[in-house]
Amino acid sequence: MIEVYLQQLKSKDAARRREAIVALGKSNDPAALQPLADIYRNDPDPALRDLALKAGRYLRQHMSQAGGSAGALAAASSTASNRLKEELSHYETEQPAAARHHLPQRRAVPPADVTRSKSYVDEALSHNMDGDNGRALKALRKALELNPNIMDDAFFVSVAGAVTGDSGQAAIDFILDQQQAKEFVKESKRQQKSVETARHLETAEKSHWSGVVLELVIFMLINVLGTVITFVIFTESISNLSADSGMLAPQQTSELQSMVSSVTIMSSVIVGVVSAIGSAVSLFIQGTAIHLVATMIFQGKGTMRYMLDRLFGLYNKQLPILYALGIASVWITFAAGSPIFSGLLGFITAIIGLRILFKASSLTSEAYNFSSGSGCLTNVFALGLLWLITAVIGFVFGNVLFGAFFSGMSNFPLS
């Protein structure tokens, strides 16, 4: 039977070598002493070398106890033997860290892997300083996989201790334990998410309704001024066009001049105010719908005032560009007489409109601290909800109007 364990000592698996060392130490066979001494001197695993030393001592003392006759010597040997036997039993029933975590053996490592391994340690330190110990632990595991010898490096051990909260060999054991590492990474992600959510809510809470009102006022001013300027450019362009008698018939010129004279600055201001109020109400309803969908369906974390503040702010930055393109398109079409350039400006305006939609989706994801995909779906669902509400309201009012109309028709005398 001892030959089986002697052969097992040559295994590349540290756990199998550990099993053979324990069995040889308890074999009571003197032939096991030399193999155990060889393991003590040559095994690459320090934990197994220590175990082989204890097994050899136990074997010698057990043999001495069996052959000795003096009572004092027997008692002393029995005490030492029992202590070593308990240690071997401990190794047998509770595997050491080397066996539990398959501690990688020291080996010759290519210089390129040594360099990459050090870079992973630097990466782990960077993640640790950022508070992301989950990623730090993954980086340390990669460092060990590339270069097992790095566990002897003081800097590596220091970083491992900072990441795991343990020190020395305990930190390395923790990193090598796949189950512990997996749970550690999960818990780190949960903590990271909790910290990010807390920071986000702190930022969101700083937004006040006074800021929303200010953005709303700016939004309305941009719409009113944009509408007025557009009307002025339009009327001026029409006047210039009607003055060119060679391009239009006298009757058309007279009609255009009559139309231009009917448009005043006051009327354009009124149109601008009505348009601004309608746009503001529409955007406010859109922001409310986005907030409801984001918080109730996608479990986003944020406040409606923060969302509205960001949404009005987005449009306040983009509306001047859209109005400038619209005004340029009007002037080019009527004053310069270039429909091609007007069409090009229209295309650019459409592209900017799409860009605003994408930015609104990104803004939603930032406002409620979830993914870009969730932000896009939130906006789609919100627009769909508004369309559904509008359709239902239109359907109800349509039925009411048609009912009233047919009711009135039924009471209307036919003769």
Per-residue pLDDT of the chain (415 residues; tens, 9 = 90+): 678 788 888 888 888 888 888 888 888 888 888 888 888 888 888 888 878 888 887 777 766 655 544 343 344 334 444 555 555 555 444 444 444 445 566 668 888 988 999 999 999 988 887 778 889 999 999 999 899 888 888 888 888 888 888 777 778 888 888 788 888 888 888 877 887 888 888 888 888 899 999 999 999 999 999 888 888 887 777 666 555 545 555 555 555 556 556 556 777 788 888 888 988 898 888 888 899 998 888 888 888 999 999 999 999 999 999 888 888 887 777 665 666 776 787 788 888 888 888 888 888 888 888 888 888 888 888 888 888 887 777 777 667 766 665 565 555 554 4
Closest CA to 17 of 58, 59, 47: 47
Cα 146 from chain centroid (whole Å): 28
Q: Measure the CA–CA gap between 376 and 383, rounded to whole angstroms.
A: 11
Q: Which residues contact 206 (CB under 8 A, 6 or more apart)?
A: none
Which tokens go with 337? 């007489």
> Which tokens belong to 14?
């540290």
pLDDT score of 99: 44
| Torsion angles phi and psi, residue 375, rounded to 5 | -65, -40
Are 213 and 305 a contacting pair, CB within 8 Å?
Answer: no
E-strand stretches of 293-404: none
Residue 73 has a pLDDT of: 33
Q: What is the pLDDT of residue 219?
A: 93
pLDDT, residue 167, reads: 74
State how far the Cα of 22 lies from the Cα of 19, in Å rounded to an integer: 5
> Is the CB of residue 245 less than 8 Å from the CB of residue 213?
no
Q: What is the pLDDT of residue 94?
A: 45
Are 29 and 41 spatial neighbours (Cβ–Cβ below 8 Å)? no
Contact 220, 276 (CB under 8 A): yes
Residues, the chain: 415
C-alpha dihedral sign at 37, 38, 41, 45: negative
d(CA 85, CA 27): 12
Nearest Cα to Cα of residue 172 among 107, 239, 96: 96
Cα distances from 7 to residues 88, 98, 284, in angstroms, run: 20, 20, 80
Name the H helices within 94-208: 97-100, 111-129, 133-146, 154-164, 169-176, 178-205
Q: What's residue 140's pLDDT?
A: 93
Q: Which pLDDT belongs to residue 312?
A: 92
Residue reference for tokens 């270039």: 338
What dihedral angle (degrees, nearest 10) is formed by the CA atoms of 192, 196, 198, 199?
Answer: 140
**N- to C-terminal Cα distance for the chain?**
122
Kindly give, in sequence order, each residue whose CB lies less than 8 Å from that of residue 334, ignoring residues fewer than 6 positions away: 234, 237, 238, 240, 241
CB atoms < 10 A from the CB of 7, how many? 10
Token pair 């340390």 is found at: 140
Burial 135-156 (b: 16+ CB within 10 A, else e): bbbbbbbbbbebbbbbbebeeb
The CA distance from 376 to 356, in Å, is 12
Q: What is the DSSP letter of 105?
A: P
